[in-house]
């Protein structure tokens, strides 16, 4: 056991990674030598440059920040720093083998699924979309393949079937920050035996795009309900009226006992409640948003938008 802190280079980009970086910064067992993150990006109508959340955190704590266009460009800088560990969480680039080989204890990735299920991106959304009963985090040793390295430790998050991606994102992000330091310490002290993944059980998840939020009311109610939760707040779940007005469905609930004779996508009201018909039933709409407007409860929508009843969303 070492009395000196393990030196770390942290690689991450979004807000999801910040609790883990903060935990490493505040730990007596680790010294963060530098942070590697993506380049600043233009956002919004003004296209003003915005720094990644990890960069903001690093600069607040006076930690050097590297922002290469391609991570392979900073091989020499990383080699000179000679870290004991490289810790990766939602960085957004593939790490080349020559960088993986630099740290004494290897490159450790914190992945937001219970590997080998859901390799790749958007793994938390996949768990909601598929109605899984649990998801979690995998702490793994990185190798050249996509999320193929040996597993060191896993932490399970039960799913109750009502959470949206915003809530699950925050829960998983905080959990990563809570477990990272002890897990990495155990790894460096040889207390975590490597478990080779069973590749035959592997599944892969692609990156979600904005257009994936388009609702298809030819699907079942349960598929649509899961999609709306999995894509709230981003990219959101939307449909168009017959006159091409966009509606976002923010929150819905299943109504398995409700039988209807409406067309898929048709908006209707019963007992002062708002529903949309699906292929096999209907969804009760709890809250929604018209383009250019603020989100509103369905009851308020019914008061001012009776003209929408009977319209078919597509």
Q: What is the pLDDT of residue 242?
A: 86
* % of the chain exceeding 70 in pLDDT: 98
Looking at the predicted structure, is the pLDDT value of residue 298 above 90?
A: yes
What are the tens digits of pLDDT across the range 3-46? 799 999 999 999 999 999 999 999 999 999 999 999 999 887 78
* The residue to which tokens 């609790």 are assigned: 19
pLDDT digits (tens, 9 = 90+) for 213-262: 999 999 999 999 999 999 999 999 999 988 888 999 999 999 766 667 89
Mean pLDDT confidence for 262-284:
93
The Cα 230–Cα 124 span in angstroms is 8
* Domain identity same for 23 and 82: yes
- How far apart, in Å, do the first and last CA atoms of the chain sit? 62
Q: Does residue 39 lie within any of the structural domains?
A: yes
* Residue 313 domain flag: no
**pLDDT at position 43:** 82
Does residue 71 belong to any structural domain of this protein? yes
Task: Look up residue 19 and give its two tokens.
Answer: 């609790």
Q: Give me the domain span that covers residue 106.
A: 6-205
Question: Do residue 159 and residue 200 come from a single domain?
Answer: yes
Of 172, 205, 238, the domain-final residue:
205
Indicate if 158 and 288 belong to the same structural domain: no
- The answer, yes or no, to whether the previous bond of 303 is cis (omega within 30 of 0) is no
* 135 shares its domain with 219: no
Mean pLDDT for the stretch of residues 158-176 = 97
Residue 1 has a pLDDT of 47
């Amino acid at each position: 056991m070492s009395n000196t802190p393990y030196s770390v280079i942290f690689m991450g980009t979004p807000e999801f990674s910040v609790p883990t970086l903060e935990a490493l910064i505040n730990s007596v067992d680790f010294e963060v030598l530098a942070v590697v993150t993506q380049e600043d990006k233009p956002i919004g109508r003004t296209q003003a440059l915005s720094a990644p959340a990890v960069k903001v955190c690093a600069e607040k704590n006076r930690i050097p920040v590297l922002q290469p266009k391609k991570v392979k460009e900073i091989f020499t800088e990383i080699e000179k720093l000679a870290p004991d560990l490289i810790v990766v969480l939602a960085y957004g680039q593939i790490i080349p083998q020559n960088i993986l080989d630099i740290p004494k204890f290897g490159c450790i990735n914190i992945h937001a699924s219970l590997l080998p299920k859901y390799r790749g991106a958007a793994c938390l959304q996949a768990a909601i979309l598929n109605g899984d009963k649990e998801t979690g985090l995998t702490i793994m040793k990185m190798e050249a393949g996509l999320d193929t390295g040996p597993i060191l430790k896993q932490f399970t998050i039960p799913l109750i079937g009502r959470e949206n991606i915003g809530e699950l994102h925050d829960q998983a992000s905080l959990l990563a920050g809570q477990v990272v330091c002890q897990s990495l310490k155990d790894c460096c002290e040889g207390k975590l035996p490597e478990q080779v993944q069973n590749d035959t059980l592997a599944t892969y998840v692609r990156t979600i795009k904005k257009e994936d939020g388009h609702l298809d009311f030819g699907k079942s109610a349960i598929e649509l309900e899961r999609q709306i939760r999995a894509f709230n707040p981003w990219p959101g779940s939307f449909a168009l009226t017959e006159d091409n007005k966009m509606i976002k469905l923010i929150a819905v609930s299943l109504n398995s006992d409700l039988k209807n004779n409406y067309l898929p996508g048709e908006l209707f009201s019963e007992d002062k409640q708002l529903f949309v018909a699906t292929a096999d039933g209907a969804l009760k709409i709890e809250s929604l948003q018209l383009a250019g407007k603020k989100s509103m409860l369905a009851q308020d929508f019914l008061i001012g938008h009776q003209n929408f009843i009977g319209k078919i969303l597509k």
